[in-house]
Homo-oligomer: A and B are copies of this chain.
């Protein structure tokens, strides 16, 4: 597949990715090269990576624990200290090999270590490939509040190696597929129709390229998220609050990011039908398509109340008001919609019915 240019970063696919990386390592005299992994990518992805990359570079491996709960400043401290103890300097390179936690956190660590060293993202989850790989968002959570600490900074290069998807289970794959569906919903009705015909996770891989092109086009037009880029938050206003709620309530199984966003998209499609003219047929289409891939999740009144409270802390909120990205129709999104409180409760009812 052809490489995609995203700001200063090139996004390379498969063997072309390895070649581009080898070339960069040859061209640039990095004083040291670190690979950030978690225990899963160390076991399943690192050997594949090391076997595929040519050249004589010596890689230092730094490991943090997997999981959103470890996307924290405390994990950053471990990595900063490891870089520092191993004598890393400003001419060091950090390669982030993992899912969104690793690429977001590693990007932040690199962007802030000695006021910024180069980093490369090699996303190993479908979610990270189609979402985190493009756009330069880096960061970590602050307690339960997602991505509160971070910067916008571009990686030097992104490598998309679909082979890594073989290491994922179906839930993980679906989680990424939710973001791909979102790309269709907010910008492209034809892409949505293509994805509707996808029955099994084995087919997801064929549509990664288009998803990255869509996301790249959106962020290219608005890197600092002043306007257009915010359409990427469709499904995320409620989705983030739902995700935080499940993270906080340890007696419930944690939802994966895409699983929470899938719910958020159904509810925000309902809000779109109420407020921005999304047709009833398209609303039903969205709900049915999403529920084909995602099991329904239970919410009691207490949960709904807690989630609505969490909304007000979402970082997209300004001046204390909650704004939503809503759809005018499939393929066209609109930012900055205020939603009356009672409609939020109705959105939960619609999801449940």
List chain B residues, Cβ under 8 A from A147. Answer: 115
Contact A116:B151 (CB < 8 A) given known A89-B317, A142-B84: yes
Name the distance in Å between A286's Cβ and chain B's nearest Cβ. Answer: 29
Among B115, B139, B142, B225, contact of A150 (Cβ-Cβ < 8 Å): B115
List chain B residues, Cβ under 8 A from A137. Answer: 115
Majority DSSP secondary structure for residues of A touching B? mixed
- Asked if A303 is an interface residue, CB under 8 A from chain B, the answer is no
- Asked if A194 is an interface residue, CB under 8 A from chain B, the answer is no
A319 touches B142 (CB 8 A): no
Contact A84:B114 (CB < 8 A) given known A73-B77, A318-B31: no
List chain B residues, Cβ under 8 A from A111. Answer: 151
What 0/1 readout, one digit per residue, does chain A (107-141) give for beta carbons within 8 Å of chain B? 01001111110000000000000000000010100
B112 touches A318 (CB 8 A): no
- Asked if A294 is an interface residue, CB under 8 A from chain B, the answer is no
CB closest chain-B residue, reference A112? B149
Name the distance in Å between A132's Cβ and chain B's nearest Cβ. Answer: 14
- Asked if A80 is an interface residue, CB under 8 A from chain B, the answer is yes
- Asked if A81 is an interface residue, CB under 8 A from chain B, the answer is yes
A89 touches B149 (CB 8 A): no
Give residues 81-112 of A contacting B (CB, 8 Å): 81, 84, 87, 89-91, 108, 111-112
CB closest chain-B residue, reference A31? B319
Among B73, B91, B315, contact of A73 (Cβ-Cβ < 8 Å): B73
* A and B contact pairs by CB, cutoff 8 A, 22 listed: A73-B77, A80-B142, A80-B148, A80-B149, A81-B142, A84-B143, A84-B145, A87-B312, A87-B313, A89-B315, A89-B317, A89-B320, A90-B316, A112-B151, A114-B148, A114-B315, A115-B139, A115-B147, A115-B150, A115-B151, A116-B151, A151-B151
